[in-house]
Every structure is written in structure tokens, then in C-alpha cells.
Structure 1
Amino acid sequence: MTSTPKTFGDNTSTSGSHHHHHLHHTGKRLRHFFRPDGRKVHIAGSPDEVETLRRTLSTIEKDNFDLVIHGTPEHIEALKETHEHHMATHKKLKEQHGDLVDEFERVIRQLDELSLELHMISEHAVQLDANFSKYGYSAHLRTKDSPEMSAANSVLGDHASAFDKASWEAEQQRGVTMKFYKKPIVRQYFHKGLLWRASEAQEVASYELFVDLLYVGIIAISGDNAAEIATGQALLRFTINFIMGWKFWNDISVLISWFDTDDILRRCTVLFILTCLLGFTTNMADSWSETWTPLVGFYLAGRLFIATTYAWYGWIIPMVRGSMIGSSIMTAIPAGFWIASIYVEEPRRQALVWVGIFLDMFGSMFLVCWQRAGIWMAPRMQNWAKKWFEFFPGANIEHKIERTGAFVTLVFGYSVVALLYENKAAFGINAYFGKAVLGLVQAFAFNWLYFEIDSFNLHTHAIRRHIFSAIIWMSIHLPFIMSFVLSAASLSKLVLAHDCANSDPETLYETYAARSTPDISRGQRWFYCGGLGIALAIMGVISLTHVYKAIPNQRLLKWKRLVFRFCVAIVIICLPLAEGLNSLHLIATTTGLVLCVLFLELVGSTCTQDTFWRDDKRYCKYSAKCKVTRKELEVSMKNGTTINVEDIAKREAGENGGFSVV
């Protein structure tokens, strides 16, 4: 009996899942197969991929292969030829061995189904290929199916029919009315070092975007009030008010990220918190003297409502009861300090205020320490903590990054809106317009750096890299946003200043002419330059929390470009020491420095064999480190075994001191 060459290529993930040569094709597009004569056929996904794939294969397999484009007549002909050959072989075996072939096929089908089930619940268990390609792979991540897809995990079930059933049920749900109350479902949770989450990405709800609209006003009011006075006391008040407002936004984001409950009560909950936020905002301007009590009152109303909500969720969801009650307690504890601050005068009030802020900002970190049950605890306390915090809700990485990015977008948008003014001159191309254009270029460059440059060639996101990098990434965005808001608010004052040539206030519309000043104060200079420089430096720290793809032929490595960024940030911060710079000179200098950073990032990220002016990807390759030794890979290939990702996860966790965040 002639042997049949192996037909199907390897379509499994590279993350360490089992590979069985007897597996049937399970829906993924084949990358290669073998002809009856043993010649290997590689399949290119598009014409653009042909030349790149041909160069790669020529170095590995020389000329002993065929290369076809998916869907072309050559591809179809090769498939038909191979299919007919194996059908003939199957028919011949059937005639020779009969019942034995039928039994063998039945066993193969059972093995295929069992292997697929094991693949989904043990070694890989993740349907997040796009997530991994964007944020980096994690061996600690698992998916949990929604109730509609539970049938798909049946060992002997038909996966195709299960998918059709889920699609049908989803289609039926389009006619379901919204209920007043639905029992909340935990979107994702940590359990014994693994993060279990739904396989689908979490979409941003419309009412979350509505929350962002309200924050535009908060950013504008807090920033303008601080830049108008530009004193140390104004900076202190701005910092306190902005942090308190940030907590409102963060509470709503966490609540929506942790629990899924698409009902009317959820919307009413968000509306109540927004009402508290609105009351808080209306009392910010005079909070240092007359309106501190209502400011704190509205703030505590929102915070204590969140604490009550956590306690309620803990009561109705026993799985996360311990973590929810703990979160409720840690949210409510700072209320005592805030209430006490109402009855204490300045400056002694500041001690109570900053203790309350510290507990509000970092109280959840205490719960993480308890949940980790570190060695600093007594054995009995460790056992209690592990049992009480066995399940802990986790943040969805896509939702967290998208919501944070939305807030940063609001800040950049505010900086542009703050530049707007009305002109009444017949020809309005003057110093005011020039300063506004420079401010626009500056904001665009920051947007470019944050959303594209620092997210380019990303191998592992900070949230998925390590627990400490995740904490830094999530915590440092607050000072980054505050610094940029302060700088943007001060920039709006600099744009209207008439301290330079071709800046006659008579050319401004009456409303803006009244705001124009003959000079800019020292405080406004420090607010503008200090805020801009600190924001640029913090953006570099945010970039350092990620792991980037290592491209050997890059002109400048990422860390060298970041060193230059930090140096530029220091120069910008020190610019107010130059007394002779007017508003136009100051804005032009800072904009030029920011553009230098952007240009260096663009040129430095290219490869040495490439040109900056055209696309050429022949030489740009990247590498990434994996906690697997060469010896392990050689043994695995020699014996035909697979490497278990659980072993890699335990090894990485051990090297990181037992911490891992996905």
C-alpha cells in the first residue's frame, strides 16, 4: 500500500497548543498542502504577499515548492488534483479493508472533536487573535463562553450547528424589549492567576460617550480658572478639583467594565452619577472659600453611591462577593476624611484632603495585595484572603485602553477649542492667527505621538506586560492629562496676548479684545511651559511601560529616542527662565521643539537600508523574546511534542515575583 503524503499545513496557533496531524480542517484558511507527488504548495493570501513569501521560502526550501494565490485557477487546480488523489486512495482502502476503515474514520472524528475541545479549554483556550496581535500574547488569559455559545463546548456536539444556533438566538434577541432590571453578569474575572473573560470584544456604550461630553465642560472650567490667576494656590485648587472629577469618570468606567447589565436601571445609575458630577462642577470655581461644602457633598454622594452599588453586586453575585464587599469598604473609608475637611479651615484642611485623595486613588491597590495573599501575611491570613478573594473582577483591556484614549482625545480637543477666537479685521492674518496655528500644530503633534508613534510596533502592552507596568500606565495618565490641560488653558491666554508685533487688539472681536492683555504673567509662562514639558516627559514614561518589537536595522532604538524626548521636555520646562521671550516667541519655540521630537521619532523608527521617503519593507524584520530555551525547542521538534503554555506562564510568574497582569 502506497503511503499518502501529509496534506494539510499547520494551522494552529504558535502559542503552544497541541498539533495533531490527523486533524481535519476546522475553518482556518490553509497556508500550505502537499501534492500527490510530495511537492509542497504554499498559498499567498493576496498578490502583494507573493514576492515577500517567495523570497522567504527561497531561503528555507530552495526551489522545491509551488506558490499560488488564494482563489486563483492554479490554486483550485492544485486542490482538485490533491483531492482526487486522496479520494482514490480512500476508495482503494475502503475496498481492501472495509469495516476497519469505517472504524478508523470514526475514531479520527472522535479525536478531532476531543482535540478541539482540549485546545479551547486548556492549552490555548482563547479566541482573541486580534487582541493578542495588538496588545501582546498572554498565557494567563482564558475565555468564558456566553450562555448562547455554551452548546459550542459540547465534546460530541456539532460546532457548526452550535454556531448556527447561536446566530439564530442572536437574531431573535433583536425583538426583545429592554427590561427595567436584569441580574448583572461579571464580564471578566481573575481566578487562581488566570483571567477569564468573554471571547468577544467589549463595545463602548452610547451613554459612556455621553459621559465624555460632560467632561468637556469640566476640563474647560477647571483649566480656565487656573490659567486666569496662574498662582500656586490656583494650581493647588486645580489639582484637587481635577482629581476629584477624574474619580467620577473612573468610577463609571470601572462599573461598566466589570459588570454587564443592559437594563434601564444601569442607565438610571449612570444618570445619577452624572447629576452628582454636574453639581460638583457648578461649585468648583469658588470652592476655596464659599462652596467647599456643596462640592464635597456632591462628590461624596457619587462615591458612596458607587460603594453601595458594589455592596449590592456582592450580595447578588456570590462568586465575587468578597472582592465587591472589599471594594465597597475601600470606597467608603475616605468619606470620613472628606466630611472632616468641611469642618476644618485652611491650611489644615489640606492634610485631610490629601489623605482622602490618596485613599481614593490607591485604595484598590490594598485589595490587590490582599487578593495576592503575599508572604508578608500569616499563613492563616493567607488562606482566608485566598478564599475570600478567590474571584476578583478584572478590567477589559480593549475597553480600558479605548476609554482612556477617549479621555486623552477630549483633552487634545479642548486644547484646540481653547485656541479659537473671533477676528473682525478685513485681513486677519496676523500674530494672533500665527500663534493659534502654532498651537494647533503642537496639539496635532502630541496626538500623533500618543496615538500613533508610541503605539507603533507594539509587542506587549503595559497592561498585559506586568502588574507594575499596568499600575504605572493606569496611574500616570492622570498627571499627564492634568499637565496638558493646564498648558492648553495657559496657551489660550498666550494666543490673545498683544505683547508682540502685528497683534493689535482692535482687530479682535469685542468679546476677545476684552480678554487680550499687554503682557503674560510669570505664572502663565510656568503653567504653559511646565505643563507642556511635564506632559511630554510623562508621555515618554508611558511609552517605557510597553514592550516594543526589536527591529535590528532601526536607525535609532526606542530608548535613544526617548532620551532625546526627555531632554527636550527639560528644555521646555526651563523656558520661562528666558525673560526676553514674548508670547509668539515662546509658542514658536515650544512648537519647534515638539516637532523635533516628532521628526526624530519618524526618522529614527525607519530601517537603515530603507529611505525615509518611500516604503520598502524588505529589510524591516523584528524579533521578540520568549521564555523558551533553544534546547526545549529542539527537543520538542525532535520528539514531535508541544510546549505547554501553562509551564511558560508559571515560569514568567516566578521570574516576576508571582505577579502577572493580562
Structure 2
Amino acid sequence: MSEALGIDEHDLKAQNPRFLLRQPKALQWFEHGRLVKRHDCERQAGRFELFLDLLYVAILSNFADALAEDISGAKLVKYILVLAPSWHVWSDIRELMNSFYNDDLLQRLLILWLMAVLVVYGNNAPMVDEDIGAMRAAVGSYMVARITCNLAHLVFSFADYHHRRQQRLWVGLSTICLCIYIPLYFEDVPVRGKIAAAAVAVSLEEITWIFCYCPAAKKLLRVKYSTAVDVPHEIDRFAAFYIIVLGEFLYLIVKGSNAAIGLNERLLRAVWTLVIAFCLNWLYTHADGSMESTHPLRHNVYTGFSFAVLHLPLIASLLAGGHVAAASVAEEDFEDPQRWLLCEGLGVGMVCLYVFALIHGSQDEPGTLFMTKHVRLILRPITALITILLPLAHHLNATEILSIIMAMYVACLVWETVGSLKKGACFFEHWRETDYPEEVPQVSESKGNDLATP
């Protein structure tokens, strides 16, 4: 149940002058299990949040480039271990802006500072296995970014009491997790030891985040007021990051004009890559296809955490697969490592999209749509399995592989779209009221001796 405090945006601006530094106040919280919102208005991503996303376009592209240059098991592990921390910083900023966004000078400078630190991280992270200086710069910049976000949480906990206990628990535990990265600074520590330390740290950070904001932590802390999220803003931010990843499919199919001149096989691969990205965007937006559906963030705590955590493997897999698909425009054919990275990336991404659709709660009555939910979604795991196994067909060239994947994705999309139609629905809506309405003549009234005008 949601309750607003009755302050609309106009009244808020009238009551508060333009302060350079505003008091950070929680925008929503749970009070005795009841959701309370400070302002009864729908939030969208701020302009400076979207500006931050522009930097992630370059960072993610740099990570995918580094992986595609030398595809191997070790490089794949490095790719995951450098991508996950950048995702954690983005998530930290998302959490802060979701709960305490007031767009004052301090928050704008906070975003600028974090972006500057991310520039250091994005430049050095792809070379952590080549130079100890790059390793130290990447780990150091990441720790600075996380500590900055932790300090912001700590300061905000003094300014507002609604999230105080959970914020301070998060600050303490996440700071301890950062200490696990310290062995990465030392040149004497073997590479395997550094990989193990980074993997443990990344995993513990995920677990710590879930624990600090789950019902168990609320019971442990015996809180009267606890954290809550602005669901439309969260959905908007996750969707924005997903779009950034799909941009990796599109950038390289035009950059360098590799598909020129005229109609050729490279142009066909570019168009197929575009169609695959379009289908992935449609499937994400389509979710489970229900007419009435409860979003995972609104369904229950388990689906809410699953929705957030699922995005990391989703973006990691599609970013890698999409980069290879787009890069094929400049290549004559795939080598075996490229074939496997393309197919495994897109296949795992489709598995994630299948789980993503399953955790949406359908509220439709049985028999409302052409197909039941599980029948509608059945092509997603089938498509994923075929895509994952496709590299075993060694006789297929790059164009044939992309053609098969594109055809399966389109078939999956058409199947779900038709299956989501309401029973008795028509494919075409009759056009009505297409003519201009008849004009009713206006009669002018004359007063006294005045002349009536036509």
C-alpha cells in the first residue's frame, strides 16, 4: 500500500528557494510495512544520470574490444571480473539517485567526480593482466569510487533517518568487502591468487547488497523505517543500461563503413545484426506478454532481487555476443573462438531473458490470451539451446550463423507477439472517423444597431 505526503511538485518549488546544497531526504520508505512516498509524482531518470550513461557506452565498448582481440578462457574470466565492478559503481549511483535525488550542486559534483574516477578505471581495467601499474590504477579507482558512494550514504544517513540503519550497515559491510581487493596491489601475489581474490570480492559484494536490503536485515536491525525503491525510476534505469548494451550491436555495423559499397555479404551481416538487436530490445520490453502483469520489483522480495541480479549476466553475455556480431561486418569469416563467443553470449542472454519473463507475475485470467504464459515463452529456451550449440556446426560461415540466429529470434518474437493477442482479437483494426467532422455554422448575434459580421 502506498501513501503520499500530499506535497505536489508545484507546492514543493514554491516552499523551497533555490539552494545550492539541499538537505538529502529519502524519497520513499517503508514505515511499519507500509510504503510511504514523499512526493506523489512519477520519477524519471535525471539528465545527469543519463549523462553518466554516455560514459558507460565507451567503457563497455572498451571491455568488449579487449575481449574480442584475444578470445580465451583466461580473457573471458578477466572480462567478467572487470565488468562486474563497473556495474557495481553504476548500481551504487542508481541507488543513491533513486532514494535521495534532489539535483543540487553536491549531487551533480558527485556524479562528475565518479565519472572522472570511472575514466581512470575504464582505461586501465582492460590491461590489468599486462601491467602492474594498470592493475593498481584500476583497483585504486574502483575502490575510490565505492568509498565515495559509501561516504555519500554515510552523510545522507545523518541528514535523514528513514534509511539510516540499513545505510550504515551497508557502508560497514561493503567497506570490509573492499579490503579483499588489497592483494591485487602487490606484484608478488601470483595471478591465480589475484583472480581468486577478485572473484571472492565481487561475489561477496553481490551477497552483501542483497543481505543489507533484504527482510532479514530489517528484522535483525529492528527498524521502524526501512528502505524502499521508486519502482518506475528503477525500471527506467535498468532499461537504459540494457539499451547501452544493445548499442554495442549497432556501433560497429556503421563505424568505418565496412559494409560499403552497395549490396554485399557484409551489408547482409550488418542488417542481420540490427535485426537481432531489435528483437532483443522487443523481447525485453515485451517481458512475459501478459495484458496485466506485476513487475518483479512489485511482485515480492525474491523476484525483486532476482530482477536486479539477473541484469549482470544479461548485459555481460549480450555485450560480448553483440560485439562479435557487429565486428563480423569487418571480417571475412569467424574463427572458432569468435563463433563460440557469439553463440554462447547470445544464447546465455536469451536464457536470462527467459528467466526475466518468468519472474513477471501474470494477472490474466485463464483463457484470456491465445496462448498460456509458458507456451508463449517456450521458444526462448529452445532458441537459446540451439544458439549455444550452433558452433558445433563447423561448416557454417559467419553469414549463415547470423542468418540462422536472426531467423530464430524473429520466429520467437512473432510467436510471442501473436500468442499475446487477446482471444477474439482481429489482426487489423477498422479505420473509423477518418473524415473531417462537419462544421456547424456559427450565427453571429447583433446588439442594438451594430452590424452583424458574417
TM-score tier, shorter chain, comes to 0.7 to 0.9
User: What is the CA deviation profile of residues 392-442 of structure 1, one whole-angstrom value per residue up to 9, with x for unaligned ones?
Assistant: 222110100000011111111221112224458985210010110111111
Larger Rg: 1
* Equivalent position SS for 1:365: helix
Residue matched to 1:364: 209
> What SS does the corresponding residue of 2:378 show, helix, strand or coil?
helix
Greater shift, 419-428 or 539-548, is seen at: 419-428
Alignment-derived partner of residue 195 in structure 1: 35
Look up the equivalent residue of 2:343 and give its one-letter code. C
Q: How does 1:631-650 map to 2 (within 5 A)?
A: none
- Aligned pairs for 1:474-485 within 5 A: 474-485=308-319
Q: Distance in 1 between matches of 2:15 and 2:301?
A: 41
**What's the counterpart of residue 341 of structure 1?**
184
The answer on 1:408 being equivalent to 2:242 is: yes
Counterparts of 2:234 and 2:112, CA distance in 1: 21
Instruction: Show the 5 A alignment for 1:203-602.
Output: 203-290=44-131, 291-343=134-186, 344-367=189-212, 368-373=214-219, 385-386=221-222, 389-423=223-257, 427-452=261-286, 454=288, 457-498=291-332, 519-548=333-362, 549-550=364-365, 552-602=367-417
1:143 aligned onto 2:13: no
Deviation at 1:491, TM superposition (A): 0.9
C-alpha contact (below 8 Å) 2:245/2:315 kept by paired residues: yes
* Contact 1:307–1:328 under 8 Å retained in 2: yes
Q: 5+ unaligned residues in a row in structure 1: which ranges?
A: 1-139, 150-165, 374-381, 499-518, 617-662
CA distance in 1, matches of 2:23, 2:12: 19
The answer on 1:609 being equivalent to 2:443 is no
Confirm or deny that 1:183 pairs with 2:44: no
User: 3-state DSSP class of the match of 1:334?
Assistant: helix
What amino acid maps onto 1:212 in structure 2?
D
Per the alignment, in what secondary structure is the counterpart of residue 283 of structure 1?
helix
Q: Secondary structure at the match of 2:191?
A: coil
Q: Does the 8 A contact of 2:154 with 2:168 survive in 1?
A: yes
Q: Which runs of 5+ in 2 are unaligned?
A: 431-454
Structure 1 residue identity aligned to 2:42:
A
Aligned-partner Cα distance in 2 for 1:595–1:425: 22
Q: Provide the C-alpha distance between the structure 2 equivalents of 1:433 and 1:413, rounded to a whole number of angstroms.
A: 18
Would the alpha carbon gap of residues 219 and 425 (structure 1) be closer, same or farther in structure 2, given more than 3 Å must change? closer
How much has 1:460 moved relative to structure 2?
A: 1.0
Q: CA deviation at 1:370?
A: 4.1
**Matching residue's letter, 1:541:** V
CA deviations 1:512-563 (Å, max 9, x no partner) are xxxxxxx422111111011111111111110111112235153221211222
The alpha-carbon distance between structure 1 residues 145 and 576, as it changes in their structure 2 partners (threshold 3 A), is: same
Change beyond 3 A, Cα 1:425–1:582: closer
Deviation of 1:320 (Å): 3.3
> How far apart are the structure 1 equivalents of 2:259 and 2:236?
42
Aligned-partner Cα distance in 1 for 2:259–2:49 = 42
Q: How far off its partner does 1:182 sit?
A: 1.6
**Partner SS state of residue 408, structure 1:** helix
Instruction: Give the conservation status (yes or no) of the 8 Å contact 2:288–2:377.
Output: no
1:507 corresponds to: none
Change (3 A) 1:590 1:216: same
Q: CA deviation at 1:455?
A: 5.7
Q: Measure, in 1, the Cα distance between the counterparts of 2:137 and 2:259.
A: 45
Matched residue type, 1:250: S
Amino acid at match of 1:571: I
Structure 1 residue 458: Cα displacement: 3.7
Query: Post-superposition shift, 1:477?
Result: 1.1
Retained in 2: the 8 A contact 1:453–1:601? no
Deviation at 1:283, TM superposition (A): 0.2
TM-score of the pair, normalised by structure 1: 0.61
Shift of 1:172: 7.8
1:70-129 deviations in Å (ceiling 9; x for gaps): xxxxxxxxxxxxxxxxxxxxxxxxxxxxxxxxxxxxxxxxxxxxxxxxxxxxxxxxxxxx
Alpha-carbon shift at residue 459 of structure 1 (Å):
2.2
Residue 168 of structure 1: CA displacement? 6.5
Distance in 1 separating the partners of 2:338 and 2:58:
21
| Offset of residue 260 of structure 1 | 3.3
RMSD: 2.1
- Alignment partner of 2:395: what SS? coil
Q: How many residues align?
A: 423
Give the counterpart letter for 2:293 in structure 1.
H
2:6–2:40 contact (8 Å) kept in structure 1? yes
